[in-house]
Amino acid sequence: MPEWFSKSIVDDRTTMLTEPFVHDYVRANIWHLRGRDADLLVDTGMGICPLAPQIETPQGKPLLVVATHIHLDHVGSLHEFAWRAGPKMSAAQFESMDEAATYAYMFHDLEGAVSILPAPGWKAADYKIPSAPLTRTLDEGDVVDLGDRQLRVLHLPGHSPDSIALFDEADGLFFSGDAIYDDTLIDTLPDSDRAAYASTMQRLLDLPIRIGHGGHGPSFDGKRMREIAADYLRRHDDP
């Protein structure tokens, strides 16, 4: 079987992983950022195949793992890691990984859920996300410290009520999760809130990012992020 994960070297400190054989609706970006004192992993994909063996970190160096929100394509492998952080708002749900919160039930009946089987006899109907209680909760203004880099937590609801992002105010690096990304934005889920999403987009118009790494789609610069946000606001305002 081909490797389940694909890896792309973004720069000398950043690697992006994704799951090319998963339906594009739930094919999320997984970001590994190397820091001086600790490494950071942003989101963990679907959890169909083990992610932890794919993440290369020096022995003894902490790996800080952050879930940007509790949807299935971002938390599937969270249970594989010892240091697990995620939104304070949905912290209780990480203990149960209730399918109503993760939307795992949507994957069970998704046509073309995977384009190759990860194992003989594998069935999407059997997909389940293991419990992954958070070891740290994150809320607006909190800081994830890698030693040589500090990333501030922004609460950016809309796609989901618990969506958070990580922003390095010193150099403009932005891990945006599903708050904003350069692809079709999803605001029609049962827990989506278009008015909250519009407020998030308004806030992002003024965020001085250098480069954004989203939960889906290609990376983007500040100009492109403002275009995406402005386009959403125009569509939100249309009758």
The Cα–Cα gap between 42 and 79 comes to 14
Q: What is the mean pLDDT of residues 216-231?
A: 98
Sorted by where each starts, the structural domains of the chain and their CATH numbers stand as 6-237 (3.60.15.10)
Which residue carries 């305002």 as its tokens? Answer: 237
Q: What is the pLDDT of residues 83-97, one digit of tens each?
A: 999 999 999 999 999
pLDDT in tens, 26-54: 999 999 999 999 999 999 999 999 999 99
pLDDT tens for each residue of 137-167: 999 999 999 999 999 999 999 999 999 999 9
Instruction: Give ∠ CA 20-113-23 in degrees, rounded to 5.
Output: 40
Asked if residue 153 lies in contact with residue 141, where contact means CB atoms within 8 angstroms, the answer is yes
pLDDT, the chain, mean: 96
pLDDT > 70 fraction of the chain, expressed in percent and rounded: 99
- 128 backbone dihedrals φ, ψ, rounded to 5°: -145, 140
Which pLDDT does position 2 carry in this prediction? 78
CA 227, chain centre distance (Å):
21
- Cα 11 off chain centre by: 19
One-character DSSP codes across 68-116: SS-SHHHHTTGGG-SSEEEEGGGHHHHHHT-HHHH-HHHHHT-TTSBSS
DSSP string, the chain: ---SSEEEEEETTEEEEE-TTB-GGG---EEEE--SS-EEEE-----SS--GGG----TT--EEEE-SS-SHHHHTTGGG-SSEEEEGGGHHHHHHT-HHHH-HHHHHT-TTSBSS-SSTT--GGG--PPP---SEEE-TT-EEE-SS-EEEEEE--SSSTT-EEEE-TTT-EEEEETSS-SS-----STT--HHHHHHHHHHHTT---SEEEESSS--EEHHHHHHHHHHHHHHHH--
Q: How far apart are CA 163 and CA 187, in angstroms?
A: 12
- How many Å apart are CA 197 and CA 101, to the nearest integer? 18
In angstroms, rounded to a whole number, what is the distance separating the alpha carbons of residues 155 and 89?
A: 10
Residue 172 has pLDDT above 90, yes or no: yes
